[in-house]
Chains A and B, each alone.
Chain A
Amino acid sequence: MKSVDSEKSYSLGKFQERRFLVSRYDIKKLLSVILIIIPYIIFNIFTKGRFMESSNILSILVHAVVPAFVAWGFCFIFTSGIMDLSIGAIMILACIVSGILAIKIGYFGLILGGILVSFALEYINLKCMIKTKIPSWVFGLGMAMIYEGIGALYGASQLKLGKQVVSLGVTARKLGSIPWIIIVLALGLIMAYIIFNRTSIGFDIRAVGSNREVAKMMGVDVTKAIIRGGLVGSVFIGLASAINESYAGRVMPTTGLNSIALIFIPLAVYLLAQAFEQIFNLTVAVIISSVIVESLFNILTILGVPSGTWQQVAVGACVIVCGVLAQRHYKGVVK
């Protein structure tokens, strides 16, 4: 009997030690917040206070909204291993429809148009990807060409009529401006957090992403999980399109796969968020990362770095560095 007791207390002791580790995580959290803030202060001094001006901070926040929404979309789509490169092209089509409907029926149309298009197209993508078993990135490339083609055809037909592709003018522009855009950001965070952490959709997609085989044997319907997660993600992508349309007021169709460039910044945000995942919840980390990435561009702009060249280099470097950081914890698992 005695030995049983000592065994039990031994295992309890181990857990207590882990609780101690949890508190170490809290210290880690605090440390990383400090580590994030320090460069801000340094840059603020460097730019003679221009960087931390309230108007500048607000502008960073506004810029961070669309990438954050797209990155939330990635949380639900990429986490299960679906690398969909057509999301940029989907966003362009969603922006077009969103703009058209906004002109007709206002804000309701703006949001509905964005969500409907991205929902429908992502559904087609996921269904076909799973059916045909084509690796998601190749399939995404093909679909990106198709969606871009459709967008460009529409654009060309509008130009022939002498019109802009979609121009909102002054209608439905409030969603993309302060204070609404910040409110939407907050709502988005709450939505993403709850779905990712408090619903079976979120748990299923995380289970599939963490260990597909085990999840399957535990009764998770992997196909269903991927599709449900992907559709939730597509809603975020649709919202991002609507916000973007309202913010920019127009959209330019791209050709030659340039639409992929649209998702570079969100990709960097998503990867950076993954690197932070050990410390912050992924959905929260998305906002933090989005602000960090946008701050970086802001700093570069303040420092007079041209937007076409070195800022692009910064995006690329950012994706690579974030990718390396995101995989850092993964090393033990990948043999």
Chain B
Amino acid sequence: MTKLVDIRLTVNGREYQGQCEPRTLLADFLRDHLDLTGTHVGCEHGVCGACTVLFNGEAARSCLMLAVQAEGAKITTIEGLAQGGQFHPVQKAFHENHALQCGFCTPGMLAATIDFLNTNASPNEEEVREALSAVLCRCTGYQNIVKAVLAAAAEMRAAGNAGAQAHV
């Protein structure tokens, strides 16, 4: 048995401690060790994007990271997006625009969209489609997802909280 490693990290504002093998993927640590099963595991090789979470504020595939790499990190999963019983503006837009059917890709869609809108407050439809190429929707419900992202961008601009972060 491989030596276990200790991990301390913050997920959705709450501190967690755990132990796992170095080979444990972050996606599996979130789901199996922390019981945060809102992060979905689809392809396990970085193609489908369903497992995308916010890692220190940036969208990242949690199946392509080791849990041990998250030591000291701040992670936001879909369970942490709503605040005080209120949907995140992107969640709200997905809800209002019927941007999910089976919902399997939705956690990844939301994480990728939030990072995208943080760096592009006024995207056009082509840019939205390019950003959404990061996550596969197996229901092929892209029309409404594109609508939802554009609606979320408009609402976040109005509220003054889009495009606030420049990376680097």
Report whether chain A binds chain B: no
Query: Which chain B residues have a beta carbon within 8 Å of chain A's beta carbons?
Result: none
Query: Which chain A residues have a beta carbon within 8 Å of chain B's beta carbons?
Result: none
